[in-house]
Amino acid sequence: MFIRKKKNRSGTISVIVVDKSRGKFREVKKFGVASTDEEADALVKDAQLWLRRYGGMQYLDFDGTDKTEADIDYALSHISKFLLNAPQTILGRVYDSIGFDKVGDDILRHLVIARCCEPQSKLATSAYLKSYFDEDISHFQIYRYMDKLYNTRQELVQQISVEHTKKILGGKIEIMFYDVTTLYFEASPGPEADMRQAGFSKDGKSKEAQIVLGLLVSEDGYPLSYSIFNGSQYEGFTMIPVIDDFVRKFSLKDFVVVADAGLMSSKNIELLKSAQYKYVIGARII
């Protein structure tokens, strides 16, 4: 229980003892209405005396003066909301400010926040969401949602991400960095039509099934686009299709493409020139 000094529309001050239980406030005892600060202080002292005798609580005079304690109680009583879930509170606001709330799927919000806080497998993510946020999302639901995200939400997510990036970068995208990596699976390569094939592996797993992932980012590393290719695909063949698709989709005009020398084959340089794309080749400094 604590003492609340409530300002009324008439300008008077009501002094009340309030109890908070299970997130709800309940008025326990009203000590009167004061017209001046002096009258309010007198009512507060009456309330403090009542709390000592009948409140079932030990009275603590933190700074040795009743006035100071009354001020502390007053400040605490005007806290309108308690926010106990820091990840959801902080990262949720970032998520909304980017615009991902427009996707309209709570499960995406939970997965993004979980990935930021505790990047784990889908099974472990399900357990994490239950333990820390009391969210019942099974790993089967996560798998099904991945299909839904890819089939029906991918374009919207990219649109939101690109628009946010443009806003951060002053309204336009002037530099695009392209690079490739490989993601391997603890499994044998699949049938010929399967994306998971053996190929050149950046992880040294050339005998394992893998896919090739191409990623396009802006300056400061904001993601713009990604594409997945057959694991046996030569990485140099992936760059131009990804860039062409992004430029067409978002009507880019004046920009520079940056990639390392391994991707800038003579054929790719010819294609960049024919499309009138400016480019920079990354190379080691000897």
Distance CA 51, CA 57 (A): 7
Mark whether 123 and 22 lie in a shared domain.
Answer: no
Give the model's pLDDT for residue 133.
84
CB-based burial label for 181 (10 Å; 0-12, 13-18, 19+): middle
Mark whether 198 and 280 lie in a shared domain.
Answer: yes
Give the model's pLDDT for residue 55.
57
% of the chain at pLDDT higher than 90: 53
Mark whether 194 and 150 lie in a shared domain.
Answer: no
Mark whether 270 and 283 lie in a shared domain.
Answer: yes
Mark whether 195 and 281 lie in a shared domain.
Answer: yes
Is 65 a residue whose pLDDT tops 50?
no
Give the model's pLDDT for residue 29.
87
Contacts 24+ apart (CB under 8 A), 69-77: 70/3, 70/5, 70/41, 70/44, 70/45, 73/2, 73/3, 73/4, 73/44, 74/3, 74/4, 74/5, 76/2, 77/2, 77/3, 77/4, 77/5, 77/18
Q: Give the residue with greater pLDDT, 206 vs 22.
A: 206
Instruction: Name the domain boundary from 77, 99, 131.
Output: 77
Instruction: Name the domain boundary from 136, 168, 200.
Output: 168
Mean pLDDT of 140-149: 95
Mark whether 207 and 282 lie in a shared domain.
Answer: yes
Give the model's pLDDT for residue 98.
93
% of the chain at pLDDT higher than 70: 88
Q: How confident is the model at residue 62 (pLDDT cuts 50, 70, 90)?
A: very low
Mark whether 183 and 148 lie in a shared domain.
Answer: no
Mean pLDDT of 224-248: 93
Q: Return all residues near 196 (Cβ < 8 A) that are at least 6 apart.
A: 185, 187, 189, 190, 209, 210, 211, 231
Give the model's pLDDT for residue 83.
54
Is 160 a residue whose pLDDT tops 90?
yes
Tell me the CATH number at 268. 3.90.350.10
- The partner residues of 213 in beta bridges, in order of sequence, read 181, 228
Mean pLDDT of 62-82: 60
Find out whether 80 and 32 touch, Cβ atoms under 8 Å: no
Mean pLDDT of 77-90: 72
Please give the residue range of the domain that contains residue 263.
169-286
Distance CA 20, CA 34 (A): 24
Please count the structural domains in the chain.
3
Per-residue DSSP letter, 179: E
Mark whether 243 and 188 lie in a shared domain.
Answer: yes
In terms of average pLDDT, the best of 60-64, 73-77, 222-226 is 222-226
Q: Distance of CA 270 to CAs 1, 40, 149, 258, 262, Å? A: 76, 83, 36, 15, 15
Token pair of 55, please? Answer: 């409140």
Q: How confident is the model at residue 270 (pLDDT cuts 50, 70, 90)?
A: very high
Distance CA 248, CA 272 (A): 14
Mean pLDDT of 77-87: 69
Distance CA 156, CA 158 (A): 5
Mark whether 178 and 94 lie in a shared domain.
Answer: no
Mark whether 196 and 280 lie in a shared domain.
Answer: yes
Mark whether 23 and 102 lie in a shared domain.
Answer: no
Q: Give the residue with greater pLDDT, 151 vs 2.
A: 151
Distance CA 174, CA 255 (A): 4
Instruction: Name the domain boundary from 77, 109, 128.
Output: 77
Mark whether 222 and 275 lie in a shared domain.
Answer: yes
